[in-house]
Amino acid sequence: MLEMRNYIGTLTTTHHFVKDKDIMIANLACCTPEHTVQQAAEMMVRHDCGEIAIVESIENLKPIGVITDRDIAWRVVAAGKSPTQTSVGDAMLSNL
């Protein structure tokens, strides 16, 4: 792992650069495009996060996009759509 430090006065910022092969995530929060936006939002609350990975299927965990709390606010709530009737696939970012 490479590390870069910037010293500005008494403030210190440390950036860690890792390769994707070095990352291991246990219990990754993810859902499929078929889940509802409400289910994704509930998952964000349970995992205390603002972004959930979207995978092809529960059997095939290939990432195909993400959905963020901002996506839900802008693309669903502000657009007057129902979170219980809108699928994650209709609200997610998909250009991975």
Digit-coded pLDDT (tens) for 28-71: 789 999 999 999 999 999 999 999 999 999 888 899 999 999 99
Sheet holding 51-55, edge to edge: 30-31, 51-55, 63-68
Q: Please report the pLDDT score of residue 96 as a whole number.
A: 56
Residue 36: inside a domain: yes
Q: Which pTM does this prediction carry?
A: 0.69
CATH number of the domain enclosing 36 = 3.90.1280.20
Q: Which residue has the higher pLDDT, 92 or 94?
A: 92
Question: What is the span of the domain harbouring residue 65?
Answer: 21-91
Q: Please report the pLDDT score of residue 3 as a whole number.
A: 44
